[in-house]
Structure 1
Amino acid sequence: MAQTLEMVFKTGQGRTYRITLDDPRLDLQPAEVKAFMDLVISVNPFDIEGGLVEIAEANIIDTEVQPLQLV
């Protein structure tokens, strides 16, 4: 099963902006994610209209792939 870390921010324009990272560490702590998200907001490295201004949420998403037999 694959996992993805999804970090969702609010922009100054009232929209949401998502950053996803594949295969996060199994021992990843919420405080580490929050600290990183705070850093992203303070540095504002993306050209987003209104900038990233607030943390909305963070999620670990589990994905299970089931291949189809195409005969």
Structure 2
Amino acid sequence: MDEKNLELIFKNEQGRTVRITLPSPVEPVDSAAVDEAMDLILAENIFLSSGGDWVEKVGARVVSRTVEEIPINVE
């Protein structure tokens, strides 16, 4: 099974990286919409981290992970 997440990556006031992870993004990902959403997140200042407000966009990426279930006997 292939799992995908969209990660939105920001920096906070202390320069630390913070992320929002969104499962199962619609593909292909619309980079303009992602950029606009990230701008809105910063403008509305709705998230807080231990390092202060989020102040800068760093990037966005789709992360893929393959999960293979192994059959076992469960009693």
Report the TM-score when normalising by structure 2.
0.85
Q: Let me know the Cα RMSD of the aligned residues.
A: 1.2
> Mind listing any 5+ residue stretches in structure 2 that lack a counterpart?
none
Identity of aligned residues (%): 35
The CA distance in 2 between the partners of 1:68 and 1:33, in whole Å, is: 36
Matches within 5 A, 1:35-50: 35-48=36-49, 49-50=51-52
Unaligned residue ranges in structure 1 (runs of 5+)? none
Q: Letter of the 1:62 partner, please give it.
A: S
Q: Please list every run of at least 4 consecutive aligned residues from structure 1 whose deviation after the TM superposition is greater than 3 angstroms.
A: none
1:64 maps onto 2:66 in alignment: yes
**Per residue, is there more strand in 1 or in 2?**
2
Q: What's the TM-score, normalizing by structure 1?
A: 0.89
Aligned residue pairs total 71
Q: Secondary structure at the match of 1:40?
A: helix
- The superposition leaves residues 5-62 of structure 1 with CA deviations (integer Å, 9 ceiling, x where unpaired) of 0011000111011000000001321111111001000001112242111011111011
Distance 2:21 2:65 in 1: 13
